[in-house]
Structures are given as C-alpha cells and as structure tokens.
Structure 1
Amino acid sequence: MKVILLTRVDFLKQLSEGRLLQVYLFLGEERLFHEELLKSAVNKILPPEDQPFNFMRIDAGEIGLSEFIQNLETPPFWGGARLIYLDNLESGVSGIEETVLKGIGNIADGVYVIISALKLDGRKKIHQELQKRLNVVDCSKLGKADLPVWIKQRAEKMGIQFTTAQIVKITQRLGSDLLRIRIEFEKLKTFLGERTQVNDGDLDCLIPGAPEPDIFGLIDAVADRNPRLGLPRLEDLLNSGENEIKILATISRQFRNITAACEGRRQGLNPKLLASMLGINPYVAEKSFVQSGRFTLPELSEIMERLVMADYRMKTGQREPRLELELAVVEICTGKH
C-alpha cells in the first residue's frame, strides 16, 4: 500500500487558508514537529479564551475506548470549534486503533481530531488501514542533508544570521536534536539583542565546541526501548571518563523530570511552568515533556524502582558498578525492570 503523505508545509497551508480537514495523523519520530504543528492548529482554530474548554489532549495509553468515542461525538462547548489530540497511538491501550477507525465516522460537527504516532507497523493491516483512512502528515526526522537547511530557515525566522561555516559548526556541536537547537537559538537571540549577525565569538561562547556527554541520547535510546543504541551511548559516556554512579544519578534525575512532566501534562501544565516549578533549565523541561509522551506513570514508577535498586547495589558492592549500570539500561530498554 502506498501512503500519500502531506508535508508540514501542506498542513500549515491548509490551516492558514481555512481548509483544515477533520482528521489528521501526525506520523514520524521528530517530536518537535508534532508539538509545533499542534500548537499552530490550537492557536488557529481556538481563541485563547476557548482553549481551556475546547482543547483536549489525550494519552492513547490511558484513555478508555468508550470515553474516546464519547469525546469524538461531543460537540464544541458554546459553539465554535473543538480540537482533540490523541497522543502516543503506538503505545495505546488494546483496541485503540479499531476504536479510532470506528469513531472517525461519527465525529460531531465542529470537532477536529489530530492523532500522533512516532511510528506504525506497516505490516499490520490495522495500521495500513489507519494510514489509508487518515490524512497523514509527515513528521519524520530530518535527513543529514536537510538539517543545515532547517537550521538556516529557523534562524532567519528568528532574525538570526549565520554563515555557512557557522551552520556546519552548529551541526557538529548540537547534532540533529532539533529541540535543543531551537532552545539554543532562543538563548542566542536574547544574547544578541538588536544584532542579527552572529560572530564566531558569540557562537563559541553560547554553543561551545566541547560536547557534553550525550546523556539525552542515552535517555532517548532507553525511551525508545532500544538497547542496541542505548548500550553504545552508555559506553561512550563511560569511555569519556564519566563515573558509573554519576551517570546513574543523571539518568535517575532525568527520569524524575520525565515523571513530573508526565503528571504535569495530565494537569495541563506547559514546559515553562514545569521549569519554574522544578527549577530546571527550560531545555530540560521541554525535553522531559517530549520524553514523557513515551511512558505511562506506572511504567515510570517501575523504572524509578529499578534505578533505586541499581544505586543500592552499586554503593553496597553487591555488583560491579559498570555491569549493574549496563544491566539496568538493558532491563529498562526491554521492559524487564
């Protein structure tokens, strides 16, 4: 089956021209694209005063099937429009895909539905049918050749000018983490003030060349349940001279942030409020929000218990620290914690 994908530009054009379709599927592993397209849709469809009542964000792993159908069939409060965002479809409760297909035929007038999935299994008939019946928007990660173009366009949109050589430096120092790049550009914009042209001194000051150990890369691998990626990244951290207990403490701290973000999403908080409440860097808060979409609270509770056990075993000498850290990462990745 050949799936016809809308580009992000296609979706934004439909949105700006008032031609929004009733149901979309955001599909792809670049979470930043999901979040930015959703924000554009919310702000276009709903006036600020209506958003608390007519915007609903639902985790597919926690919603009841009958409750979801009921939400689709409920018209907007006080007229106007209503937007339902079903997140984490690939981690949804049993039967959610069939319920989506059943429900999209009975959506109330004025209700728009956006479904988000990082990836679907194209071999499954139900996933084939979803991609056939829904309007799929491509949210795939950027290819290596596309990253410099995205950086240049995002910088120009923010009023920042980079040379070609500086863009190369940014890709070397920040990699392909678009969320981190966006946060660093926001810091750079504040630093520049009225200036638009970045000089090499500005870049070296705010985006230094010595990379931090890739703890977020390790967390991403763990969140994706990918031990083949997680273990090499753990090895990189260890080989860079990082102490096992320090790495474990960093992983535990980030999973505490992810847990707080998961609970915060349920309460309607945004990353800025979370950063203020926890006293953490805005980049860490945004990253935690993105990563929290990959877990349920019960899963996070089990992971935290496994990390506490690892800390105890390492500090009491019950197991060699490197081995215990590797085992903890593998068990969390494979869901055997």
Structure 2
Amino acid sequence: MPIYLFWGDDDFAMQQAVAELRDRTLDAAWSSFNYDKIPPEQADGVIQALNQAMTPPFGMGQRLVWLVETTICQRCSEELFAELERSLPVIPTETVLLLTSTNKPDGRIKSTKLLQKHAEIREFASIPPWKTELLEQRVKQTAQQIGLKLSPKAIELLAEAVGNDTRLLHTELEKLKIFAGEGKHAIAEDTVTALVTATTQNSLQLATAIRQGETGRAIALVTDLFNRNEPALRIVATLVGQFRMWLWVKLMVESGERDDRKIAEAAEIANPKRIYFLQQDVKSISLAALRQSLPVLLELEMGLKQGADERIWMQSKVIELCHLFQAISPAPVRTGRR
C-alpha cells in the first residue's frame, strides 16, 4: 500500500518509523530527486503533496512524499476532500505518500473515512505512565529487537525509570548493551540500578510518596521532575490516572467484591494479577482520602491550564495532597464477636 498515515504524540517512535520507511522507499543515489517533505505552514501543502505523488520518480527507487503534521483528519473542506477522493485511489505504486499528525484522526469526518479505505494507519501514541504492564512489555520487546537480555526485575526497574519516554528507553538500552558486550547472561536489576539514571525520579514515585503522606520526599520528587523538564500537565495526568485506579480498587474492595477480574475491569487494569499489589497499596489508606484527592488534582490541572506558576502551584497542591493522606486515616475494621 503506497499511502501511510502515522499519528500520535510519541515523536521518537514515529520518527524511527518514518526513517525506516524512507530507507525502504528511496534509492540513496536518487533521494534528493525523489524525496519531498512538505511542512505544515505551507498553505497549499495537501494539494502540492498530491501533485508530487502523481509525479513519476527519477532514476532508481521510488518517490516519497511526506506531508508533515497535516490536519486533514481533523478538518477538511469540501474542495480539498474532492481532491483527495479523486487522487488517493490512483496514486501510482512507484510513489509512497506519508501523512503524519500528532492528533488522533477524527473518525467521524469524511477525509478520515477515505484514508481508512486507502491508507495503512499506524498509531504512535504514548503509553499512559500508570499502565505499567504495557510499559514493561515495550521494554521487553525493544530489548529483544536490539538483542539484549534483561531479567524480569530489570525490565520492571527500567520501565519504572524511563516511563513512557521512548527516546530515553532506547538511550538506556543502548548503554546497557554496551555494558553487556558479548555476554550472554541477562542484565540483572543491580546493573540497571547502577547505570540507569533517575530510577526514582518519576511521576509514579511521586504518587506513591503522596499516598504515603511523605511531604518532604514528594516535594523533592517534584523538584527532580521539573529539573528534568517533565511537562507539568503530564505529571498531573499520571497522578490522576494512578489515584483514579487506587480509588476504584478501594471502592470495589470495600463494596465486598473479591473477584480480581471484576476489580481489574472496573479499574481498567489489563493484568488482574496486579490487583493483589494494588490492594496492598490502598489497604492502609481511607476511601475518603482517595475520594478527596481527585478534586484537588482537578484544581491543580485547572490552575496550570489557567497560567499559574507551574513549580509553585504544583508544590502547593502536592503539600495539600500529602496533608490529606496524613489527616484522614482508614476507619478501624470491625470484627464480630466470637
């Protein structure tokens, strides 16, 4: 299929896929003649891309036309749609037309439905930081791709360290591969701890510190995250996801539910085996504290979106959350008379 649509906010993974497609499509000796990269600020970019896609390649190899950060899957005029409808079915096999976008295609509009018919669509969305199973699966798959063996605990630690930062994951795996050399043994957890940077400086660790009411540690983690240029809204998104998950687990357990699969389904957790560990997380905290944490996180998000000083506002709300979990202790468990 000569038409591709790549979308998602995982820029590094998408750029890797683009490079692979470019290398597979173009002949190195003729690439300067057969490669067109059309920037988003070009007013007639889509029309130019379609015209270039109809032009036969020079010399050897194929032609690659890349329409960068296109918005045709979010909004598309009737005139532009008519051009797409006329051109996409007849793009020659010697041409590869690539469209990329950060935003998810709107499946309701006609241009997206047209591309679904004629294009191969690939998603490069970042994995939510609280979906640890998926993060660990990606670490394992990426390590296998470069021929590196990792112990199960090393995979867990590496996923915790890099989160959903694909670029950082590749950097750390290459570092570990150089360290391993020709060795055939799996990289152990102590090696990851020694070589991988910032293994405790991530948003999930911040969520744990807040849950445990450790104000000093939480503020230190906020400082570390900002020093690493972690976007404030991304930190908040991770906290919301984690506290929402803890709240669902606590709600289900206190309602008397004992089926791990049903609890996992309600909390949107892929692996029911995680429920035991999440139950241990929320065992010593009250349902009231978890319920009250979400409005505070909403205030934090709204303040950031309205232009509050990110560092000061984040620190103040993190302190408020820590005090919340210090102040509200779980109700004592009632036991029946023997």
TM-score, normalising length: structure 2: 0.52
| Letter aligned with residue 101 of structure 2 | A
Aligned equivalents of 1:81, 1:323: Cα separation in 2: 48
Aligned equivalents of 2:139, 2:228: Cα separation in 1: 33
More off after superposition, 138-147 vs 174-183: 138-147
1:202-217 equivalent positions in 2, closer than 5 A = 202-208=191-197, 210-212=199-201
| Letter aligned with residue 83 of structure 1 | L
Matched, 1:198 2:187: yes
* TM superposition shift of 1:203: 1.1
1:47-126 equivalent positions in 2, closer than 5 A = 47-62=27-42, 64=44, 65-90=46-71, 95=76, 98=81, 99-108=83-92, 110-118=94-102, 119-126=104-111
Name the counterpart of 1:26.
Answer: 6
* TM superposition shift of 1:181: 0.6
Q: CA 1:134 to 1:157, structure 2 compared with 1: closer, same or farther past 3 Å? A: closer
Name the counterpart of 1:38.
Answer: 18
Cα-to-partner distance string for 1:93-124 (whole Å, 9 max, x where unaligned): 97586354443245345111122233112233
Partners of 2:73 and 2:105 within 8 A in 1: no
Name the counterpart of 2:165.
Answer: 177
Q: CA 1:100 to 1:205, structure 2 compared with 1: closer, same or farther past 3 Å? A: farther
Q: CA 1:66 to 1:45, structure 2 compared with 1: closer, same or farther past 3 Å? A: closer
State the number of aligned residues: 217
Task: Compute the RMSD of aligned alpha carbons.
Answer: 3.9
Matched, 1:152 2:140: yes
Aligned equivalents of 1:150, 1:251: Cα separation in 2: 21
Query: 5+ unaligned residues in a row in structure 1: which ranges?
Result: 1-20, 215-235, 253-321, 330-337
| Letter aligned with residue 175 of structure 1 | G
Cα-to-partner distance string for 1:22-53 (whole Å, 9 max, x where unaligned): 21222444334422322222222223223333
Query: 5+ unaligned residues in a row in structure 2: which ranges?
Result: 204-216, 232-305, 314-338
| Letter aligned with residue 55 of structure 1 | Y
State which structure, 1 or 2, has the greater radius of gyration over its C-alpha atoms: 2
Aligned equivalents of 1:198, 1:248: Cα separation in 2: 29
| Letter aligned with residue 163 of structure 2 | G
Q: CA 1:323 to 1:47, structure 2 compared with 1: closer, same or farther past 3 Å? A: closer
| Letter aligned with residue 106 of structure 2 | D
Partners of 2:65 and 2:97 within 8 A in 1: yes
Partners of 1:55 and 1:84 within 8 A in 2: yes
Q: Secondary structure at the match of 1:145?
A: helix
Aligned equivalents of 1:168, 1:248: Cα separation in 2: 24
| Letter aligned with residue 87 of structure 1 | V
Q: CA 1:53 to 1:187, structure 2 compared with 1: closer, same or farther past 3 Å? A: farther
Q: CA 1:56 to 1:206, structure 2 compared with 1: closer, same or farther past 3 Å? A: farther
Partners of 1:83 and 1:112 within 8 A in 2: yes
Partners of 1:75 and 1:109 within 8 A in 2: no
Aligned equivalents of 2:171, 2:31: Cα separation in 1: 25
Name the counterpart of 1:168.
Answer: 156
Matched, 1:128 2:117: no
Q: CA 1:77 to 1:325, structure 2 compared with 1: closer, same or farther past 3 Å? A: farther
Q: Secondary structure at the match of 1:120?
A: coil
